[in-house]
Structure 1
C-alpha cells in the first residue's frame, strides 16, 4: 500500500497559524540559531517574507512542511540568486521524502523565476540536512568556522549552492581567454 502523495503549493495567508505552529514544534539547535518566539507569537508571514515566498507540503488537508525561498540580499547585483531561507517538516511526516520534495520544488521555482543560482546556509552539525542538500546537487562553497555558539558548542556555518542552468557560470579565466 503506497502512502498518499503530498500536495505542494504556494502558501496562503490562512496558513499563517499552521506554519507558525510548525516552526515552533520543529525547533531545535540542530538547524536553528535563534530560540523560538515566546507568546504572544508574532505572525509567521512578515513584510519581508509573505505567502508567495513559501511552498508548503500538505497531507490530508494538513500543512506538514514548508520551504522559504527568497533573495540573499536586496542588491540588484545578485538578483539572479535565489536562497533557501527555511525548511521544516513536521515530526509526524518525517521519513516520507517531504524535505526532498520541497527542496526540488524550490529549485524548480527558482528556475522558473529566472535565477541562475540557488544557495543556502546549513549548520555544520546538521548532517542529515547536509546529506540531503548534497544528494540534490548542492556543493559546499564556503565554511565559516565556529560562527555560532549554540547550546554551549561552537558550530560552523556551511554555505552551499548550485548552478541552475548548465553553463551559466564561467570563470573569469575562461572569459578572459
Structure 2
C-alpha cells in the first residue's frame, strides 16, 4: 500500500472536498446540522484553499502507483482525493500567531484504514512549523473516541474540558480541548514522520 500524497489545496478541489464533507457528516464529530441542498461552496472568504491540506491516494483496486507523503506537487494522475485537514491560526491576534489550530479533518469512507488521517496530521505539523508555529491545538467532541485516540497517539494531550458544551442528538456532549508542542521539547509527544 502506498502512502497518501499530501499537498496544499487548490481552488479546483472545491467540488471533491465538498463531497467528502457532505458524505462524512456525522453527529460523532459535527456540531452543525447535516448539509442540505442547495449546497454552499466549500471554499469561501473564511475557508481559503491555502488553509487546507489535501490527501490523495490510489483507490482500492487501482494499483499501487502513488505519490509520497509530504507537501509538494507532481502527484500521479491515478490518485483520488481522499481527505482534508483545515489548519488555521486560532485568532487574528499577533500574541498567539505561534499557534495553529486544526479546524476540520475528514477522510472519505472508501479511503479509511489507509493511514490518511495520520498522514494529514503529520503533514500539518510540518506545515505549521513552516508557517512559524510552535504549538498546535484542536477541539474534539468527548464521544468521538476514534479521533481522540488518533490525536493522543500523535502527541496531543487534553488541556481542558468544557462539560456538556453541546447538545447533540438529545444528549449533552463535552468539548475536549487538546494541544501539542511542535518544538520537540516537553509535551511534544507522539511520533514524527
Alignment TM-score, normalising by the size of structure 2 = 0.83
- Which residue does 2:162 correspond to in 1? 144
- Which residue does 1:173 correspond to in 2? none
Q: Which runs of 5+ in 1 are unaligned?
A: 170-177
User: Which runs of at least 4 in structure 1 moved beyond 3 Å after TM superposition?
Assistant: 166-169
Bigger shift: residues 53-62 or 125-134:
53-62
Q: Is 1:92 the equivalent of 2:110?
A: yes
CA distance in 2, matches of 1:24, 1:49: 16
> Alignment partner for residue 80 of structure 2, among 54, 62, 84?
62
Secondary structure of the residue aligned to 1:142 is: strand
Cα deviation, 1:93-115, whole Å, max 9, x if unaligned, reads 10111111101111111111110
TM superposition shift of 1:80: 0.9
Secondary structure of the residue aligned to 1:162 is: strand
TM superposition shift of 1:144: 0.1
> Alignment partner for residue 33 of structure 1, among 31, 34, 51?
31
Say if 1:162 and 1:46 are closer, same or farther in 2 by CA, change over 3 A: same
TM superposition shift of 1:90: 0.6
CA RMSD of aligned residues (A): 1.4
Q: Which runs of 5+ in 2 are unaligned?
A: 59-78, 188-193
CA distance in 1, matches of 2:168, 2:48: 28
TM superposition shift of 1:5: 2.6
- What pairs with 1:112-131 in structure 2 (closer than 5 Å)? 112-131=130-149
- Which residue does 2:21 correspond to in 1? 23
- Which residue does 2:51 correspond to in 1? 53
TM superposition shift of 1:168: 8.4
The answer on whether the counterparts of 2:3 and 2:115 sit within 8 Å (CA) in structure 1 is: no
CA distance in 2, matches of 1:131, 1:4: 23
